[in-house]
Structure 1
Amino acid sequence: MLRSHVRRLSLRTAIMLPFATLMLVSVALMGYAAHIGHERLLTEQSQRVIGSLTARTHDVLSHFLDAPYAILRVMRQEILFDELYTPGDMSGIESKIRALYGTAFVEQQHVSVVAFGGRNGEFVGLRRETNNGFAAMVLDKRTNGELRIHAGDTLNSPVIAQYPGYDPRSRPWYMEGVQNAGPGWTPIYSNYDEKQEITISATSPSVDRNGAFQGIIVADVKLEGISRFLGNAPDLGHGAIFIIDGNDRLVAQTGSNPILATTGGKEKGGTRLLVQESHHPLVRAAAPFLSHAGDTAREITRAEGERLFLKVTPYTDARGLDWRIGVVMNESDLIGTLRGEILTTLWLVIGIALFGVVVGLALLQLIIQPILNTAHAAKTLARGEWRHELTPGVSLRETALLVDAFNDMSVRLRRSFQELRDRIVRDPLTNLLSRSGLCETLADRKLSSPGPDGDATVVVALIGLDGFRGINNSIGHGAGDGLLTSVAHRLATHCPDGALVARVEGDEFAVVLDSPATPETMQALGQWALGLFASPFRADEDEVVVSACIGVTGGPLNQLDTIESHLRHASVALSEAKRRGPRSARVFEPDMMSKSKERTRLTAEMAPALARGEFRLVYQPVVDLTRGGRVVGAEALIRWHNPRGGMVPPDLFIPLAEESGQILDIGHWVLRTACQDIAERLHRGWPSDFDLHVNVSVRQLIQSGFVETVETALRDSGLPADNLTLEITETSLATDGMIAREALIQLRDMGVRVAIDDFGTGYSSLSYLTSLPFDGLKIDRSFVSGMTGNGQSRTIVHSIVGIARSFDVHLVAEGVETLEQAAALRDLGCERAQGYLFGRPLPLSDWTDPAHLPRLAAG
């Protein structure tokens, strides 16, 4: 009964039950807001109270320290106007000090001494005593040249101390006053008298009516008086105010704490304490933070965990003081018992929250259990255990729907993954086995051809279509898929009995024979595969002739030699076959793997080699056969000297650069460097019509920014555009010529010439010549080398010469090595040639002026 009732509850009703959880969040937010409010209040209070104390201290200290200078100004005027200074007799100044200091300035209790030191060593002054009386201090002819200190303010009072040899001119206040040449402060120092109190003095020079120096007027302020003044600050509580100099030594501080280091229990004449040596615990706690404290109250923490707030403000005046005022207060003095009240409230909030969590979890457990069961079942599905069905149990109506939906989903997933697995093991386009399907099939299949060690052996042929990308671009991707389907159908239809056929990647197919891996079997499988491509294939409505290259391998099939390793070996053999050219088949040999690794190493080293400057250019002359072999140009050829392996053949690293895409950076470097080299020679006087030939990959040509790259190279080097000829191979033009056509048009509009290299070897229709812009043809060396002994080669060369004349373009023959070849080419009408007969490729530094290079007769 209860079970059915709970099941009828709505999800909305169930969500209302754990309302305590929402309360917990609300209360937590309230507690957090209270904490933030407390912190904000504490910050504001610290800024207000400490800021007020700092401002008051600053203002009162300024007034406090202005008083000595008021006394000095009056004294200076009185001495000047009344002409009180008489060398050797201080009685006039004595009377004036007594009259002013004892009457007019009697309220300036912090000024402990007012005195005058004459230029001849005289001295007179009054010192304030603790009983509000004064002690006269005199040194003149009346005291027989010694300093005498009297118990009263006249010389008639008893002498309480006398100092023979005292000279005021050697005292810090006198020397500082002379040096300042105006009102100023002395450094903090110890008095000479029997009290030896630490003081700072205000000084001012005294001059007569003619401006002649008479002496120094001085007023002392005891640091003890400043400390007493600091202790009278209101609202300070247990806090502390302190003043320090630029060396972090105490000038004054609140309370009865001394500012001097004690020696033998005494403080007289002692060294002032550093801040960290202060006897006041709060001042000492503030010491490590002085360098980081700013003009706002900053929170610091004592080792005991007490929170303190510190503010340090600079105090300077026009007379040379450079002090800092520090105010430090603890939290309790700023906010009283408010912190304890807030903590009590926070603990109450936490208690309420914990109670709400317990209630909420108990209720949620009942509600979410079916969901947890569903999640557990989902993990089971993820492990591939499809036959897992949930039972509803005690649940809400919505969770019951969830369970039913999950059970329905698991059934659908089981069907979908089965379909997906079928797609993984079967290629959806050709319905052949995929690479994964081939591996699975061979793993499950019992092979019947044992090898020498008793393991089953297989023979694997990897078939790669030649130029499929170009075919795909020509006939369209739909027809390209049709071509792949036709190839797959022919392979599957004509493969030997028991063979497995798979499409392993793009335009690559694999055929696996359960057969002894003998050389004869592998050669036969390769030739059989090549023979399948002798006739055209259907591609939609068209027939397409396509060739293939074959890589074959074979061997045992076990844990070490898996089908993947055989496919990898076959791929290496296929790569070797493609390097030989179309319609080639190669059987895997162990040294192919080492060569493959070497190619991989060279590919990885190309970019660093370019950065290190390991590439260099050499130039092979191009001569005019009709002008006695005169040099009219040069072809830039790249060479790579690898410090690890020596010279790397261009026919090895250039194809690798093409495959890896590094030909873009290398080609850019070749173009830029060659243009710079030839431009420099032209500036030195080489013939202005000297023609630079630079080989360019079609991969460079089809890059969107290639034309701009050529423009930049010409502009930076200063080479005229009509001195540059870019050579592109016929084979690559046959594949990607239409894509590169726009770039070729722009280059020719700039004035750059375009030549088709290795003409006659591209296995392509001549019709593309009518659609491509070009300025020249280069006869491949294979035709030139055979023309003197092979009539067919001579006929081909003659045809190429006719094509060049028909298109009105220039013609260059490559690979000329004998005088007979040169003469034959000249007779056939070929104007230009290059080859070892005219010069090997050399660095440009080894060239002389082309006009003076040796000329070779062409016959």
Structure 2
Amino acid sequence: MTKFKTYPVSLTKALVILMIISSAIVVLSLNSYLDRAVKQIYSDMNEHLLKNDGERVAQQIGKYLNQPQASAKLMALLSAGESAARPAAVAGILQQIIDLDFNKGQPLSKLSFATANGSYTALERDPQDGTFKTIHASLQSNQAVLKQLWFVHARETSLPFWTEHTHRHTAEQGMAMTWRQPVRDRAGNFLGVLSAEIQPEEMSGWLQSLDTNNSHRLMLLNEKGRLIAAASPLSADEIQNAGQHLPSPGLADSLLRPAVDHNLMLSKAISDADGKLKWTLVMLTPDNQWQASIHRYHQHNFIGLTIVITLALLVITFLMVRFSRPLVSLINRVHLLGTPLWKPAARGTMFPEVANLASALDKKSRLIMDMLDARQKEIEHDKETGLMTFTGLCNHPELYRGRNMIALLHLSNHSSLTNLLGKEYGTALLAHLQSMLKTLLPADTIYCRERNDKILMIFPKVLDSEQAAFLHQQLETLFMSRQSVSKGCHELLIAGNVGIVEEPLTEERLKALVLNAGIALHHARTEGNGVVTRFAPEMHEVGLRNVELHEELSHALERDEFHLVMQPIVSLAGEGECLEGECLVRWNSPTLGFVPPDRFIALAEQTGLIIPLGYWIIETACRELADFIARGAPDNFKLHINISPLQLQQDDFAEGLLGCLERHNLQGKNICIELTEGVLLDDSTSVLPQLNTLRSAGVTVSLDDFGSGYSSLSYLHSLPFDQLKIDRQFVSDILEDRRSESVIASVLSLANSFKVPLVAEGIENQETGEKLRRMGCVLAQGYHYGRPQPFKNWTVKLGVFNLTLI
């Protein structure tokens, strides 16, 4: 579909254009209406004038046609006292008749009188000057007259009649017409025939003179529709059309109708007094009769309307501009609403409606500015502490002026203490921290509450490394200080960590520096409470590797990238027979290659991925153990599985493990779960019921890495365990370090007192194994006895797993 390009138009222009278009439509419509009205008026006038003119012309023609009868009576009276045979006397009488009855303008071409003995005298009009000349016929002509049919007919009747002379016929003018009137005296004696001849040429000229206004076209037709005379030349189609619409005898003596190429045509019947002559007068009104007047009136009307509308447009445009100018000004400035650039408009030239709108916008602008100011304060300043937010920090005018060191402080005990003691305590703790910071740090340090329990500090320009070391020391002093403030019955103690970044601050690098400070803070938290760490680029690289490791780890289970291996646990007193082994998980990533367990296990615990991974390890270990026993391993073979603290804290852990044993036809004695002692200390109330459920089903519990954490005799008596595994760091130094030997001896004594076996990990040579055997250690594990391998690689036969046979 074609898209038309649009152009923006101002409100004033749009209104003016709309008014011009509307006015043009009004002018054209009104002009068209008036034009039709004028034409109708002129048409009615034309019809009325045509009827009047037709009646007038018809009367004159009728009067003319009746004059020969009066002339015949006068001829009879004048001839009674004269000798009818005297031509001179007849000529005088005819001249007298012409002078009395026929005006010069009437279409009479010849007036003649033929006496009873055939004497013929005529007065004929001269076509040049219009005068009549006398004509006397000879004796021979007298005899010819007596033989004329019209003369014979006149002697036999006393009634007038008309004759047509074919020898005068022309295609354009029709036939010559002669009126014959027999003349008799009072006694009825025949005196002669009075004849009045009419030629079409003269009749046409007379008709033209009758149209005094030259506004019509006149023609005379006989009863057959043939043309007798016309005031102007006519076409054959006009004559034929007129002849087809003659008035019907007895129905109407006139007919008014539209005509081809004319507005109107009037057909009116004309006859003499005796009804002998049946002619029709046809009057045509041409199209252009009133055309000039109509056109002139139309021009005057159009010009007048245009002037009136133009003046009205100018007035309306002036008012519109005056109205719209303030409105357009408001529209053009509306994008400034609610900003300091908005200025109230002058209301002196405004219409009340626009002034009200401007006033409303002024109020809205002030309201918006007040709301924005309040909102800006909320956004840029923390209500609880009064410190700037990060948004407020970005807008601080002194932020980038030579500053080159920032620190991010995490108040680690804020969240827990607030939850335990209430929000007021948390607010008081933050206030105490602010007071300490202002005491220890430079006066023009900028503070920002970056998170709920994090404070971002922007130090003034650090000139050298000594000044940087001083600030580092001051931050460490913050956590080492024993000064405390009481809040109710509790003390406000500051605990947390700090990450520092030393780099010039720029607008482009601000967020990156804060991110690096967060990375340094994370490293400080891993090292313990109260640690202040300076950011190093390798920290970011480690973080990126952890991110990549986390992304790959989240998909490793779906891609089946993990597999299990087993490392045997042997009896130091036996002959290589093995009844126990530890299950270990390995990860070969197509992207990262082989990933050591200490890297991905710790990350899985941090991210919570250890939960699905732990379920997979238990399910796969049980399946592998069942296959291992089915291949020939001892029925009582015990597989050690390391359990994460997060796994053990799941409510359905014990139920899930026992269900897995049942699915693979294993017994509780076939599984030993290895836990670190720290798990029991952190949440012993929630894990003890789980451990008791498992131990009642025959599952044994081994305390792994014993001696490396929080071991003490005060809690061992309350913990359910069936085995101790001493940390490998003591085993590796037993041959060189007497303190390690003492620790192992103490742990052996402790295990004997609890009547549980001790497993020594990390034995890599025969000497270490012999040393531990002599000291009383029962079980051993290490590369010296066997490296971890997939279950299928270990050889078992007839219920025996003996490492000496491999």
State the TM-score, normalized to the length of structure 2.
0.48
State the TM-score, normalized to the length of structure 1.
0.46
Give the number of the structure whose alpha-carbon radius of gyration is greater: 2
